[in-house]
Amino acid sequence: MLKRLLEKVENKDIFMFLIFVFALGYRTYYWPNEKLIGTVLMAVCYILMIYFGDGVIRVYRGFKYIGWYLALAILCAFSKMWAIHDNSVYISAMFKDVLVPLIIVILAVECYMNYYKSTIRLFNCIIVAEFVVCIRGIIHTPIVEVILTQDTRLFAANLGINYNDITTQMALVFIISVYLTFFYSRKYIHWDIIFFAFLMISGSRKAILISVIGAVLFYVISIGTDAILLFKRVFIVVVVGGIIIFITFKNPFMYEMIGQKIEKVFETFGQSSSEMQVTDIDTSLHGRAVLREMAAEQFKANPLLGIGYYCFQYTNPYGLYAHNNYFELLSGLGLVGFVMYYIMYATILLNVLLAFLRRRRIKSKEYILVFGFVVLLVIMEYAQVTYMRLFALVPLITVAMAMEKGRDFEKCLDTQESTKNGTQ
């Protein structure tokens, strides 16, 4: 698998791969100044990519994404004027640890896609990069302690980061890999198996659930309009899903590691914190419910601009962020920040809808990926803060810019069809 990839590698592939590795895997506190060094190395890789290319910096597809996130970052900076607590340190960190590396990623993806017509090479780069990141996470996981305590939250614990950071990006890259498996080549199933195995080891319930939903979604819709094949695939999903559920909930080890966590998610879904019966298993769920409710109260009191970027942690007894992207945005930056962030999601989904209404048959498969990706990310953000995290922003920007490439592809097809019809 890796041998086939290496046979086709060019220098621009290596630079793009390294940029993804530094953006996704080296944002921890394991080494001194690791984030700063990672950003500098990303910039060096981008400069080398330009040098070995045509020497021209282009910002065409990526301009609106840079403008979108820059506007959000500026709002965060201005929130210092009305913040309930000094947030200068967090604003500075957002600019140097999120905005700058994200702009480098956008510029690099733009540059990379100017060289290659297919988006598959780009996806290959982020998939292999995530594999390297996962290996680093495994190396820095206290395996013996995880087995003895059955605490999967220790995944990548020695890196000094929240394990949700690495499991979230793992799930998002898994979605890209599954898309490639069902829409391009079954050879990508090796990556699907590897990433899902890592996810199971991590025990992250939201990452596992999103990954399963994504796999089922792409598996079912990849058949097109064949009703018989649709029925067969739904039947297979039901049977295989039933077997997996049976094993997860009947095997004592699997139940302790994963099953009971997932069970509590469904039992407590939609409940307020006062309705939950707190046990050792669902303490996390109860705490998240409390945080959501307190964030909602802060939003109601400050609906327009919120209480300031990254200030919600100073208003709750846990000293934590809201663990929910919607309420974190609403409480910190109000409706203005919420709309500024999610307007890009809405624009992406609108582009997919317009493409479907225009053609009724979308020739560019990237539209399918970005639609499924954004929908799954929106679901995940109910239990994850992502708007200032590279682990979600980098995969999102990658698939969104791939859609831009797909749109160019469709325009070329339209031009070719118009020319052909004209000559006839």
Residue where the block lists tokens 């506007």: 71
Query: Quick one: pLDDT at residue 333?
Result: 96
Q: Confirm if 72 and 309 have CB atoms less than 8 A apart.
A: no
DSSP designation for 379: H
Q: Confirm if 348 and 407 have CB atoms less than 8 A apart.
A: no
Q: Confirm if 28 and 38 have CB atoms less than 8 A apart.
A: no
Q: Confirm if 370 and 403 have CB atoms less than 8 A apart.
A: yes
Residue where the block lists tokens 């539209």: 367
Helix/strand/coil percentages in the chain, nearest 5: 75, 0, 25
Residue where the block lists tokens 């195995």: 197
Query: Quick one: pLDDT at residue 96?
Result: 94
In whole angstroms, give the CA distance from residue 378 to residue 188: 25
Q: What is the full per-residue pLDDT of the chain (424 aa) written as tens digits?
A: 555 555 566 788 899 999 999 999 988 888 888 999 999 999 999 999 998 877 677 777 889 999 999 999 999 999 999 999 999 999 999 999 999 999 999 999 999 988 887 788 999 999 999 999 999 988 988 888 877 777 777 888 888 787 888 889 999 999 999 999 988 888 899 999 999 988 888 877 788 889 988 988 888 887 765 666 666 767 676 777 677 766 766 666 665 656 566 655 555 555 555 555 555 444 566 778 888 889 999 999 999 999 999 999 999 888 888 889 999 999 999 999 999 999 999 998 888 888 777 664 545 677 888 889 999 999 999 888 999 999 999 999 999 988 877 655 455 444 444 444 444 4
Domain boundaries, the chain: 2-222+270-418
In whole angstroms, give the CA distance from residue 321 to residue 325: 9
In whole angstroms, give the CA distance from residue 361 to residue 355: 8
Give the pTM: 0.85
Query: Quick one: pLDDT at residue 227?
Result: 61
Residue in 407, 307, 394, 305 with CA at minimum distance from that of residue 347: 407
Q: Where are the beta strands (DSSP E) in 175-270?
A: none
DSSP for 84-136, please give it.
SS--HHHHHHHIIIIIHHHHHHHHHHHHHHHH-S-SHHHHHHHHHHHHHHHHH
DSSP for 228-250, please give it.
HHHHHHHHHHHHHHHHHHHHHHH
In whole angstroms, give the CA distance from residue 100 to residue 81: 23
In whole angstroms, give the CA distance from residue 269 to residue 11: 48
- Output the six-digit token pair for 267: 């039992």
Helix (H) or strand (E) holding 410: helix 390-423
Query: Quick one: pLDDT at residue 282?
Result: 47
Residue in 68, 76, 70 with CA at minimum distance from that of residue 306: 76
In whole angstroms, give the CA distance from residue 310 to residue 300: 17
In whole angstroms, give the CA distance from residue 350 to residue 370: 11
Sequence-distant (6+) residues with CB within 8 A of 228 are: none
In whole angstroms, give the CA distance from residue 287 to residue 291: 6
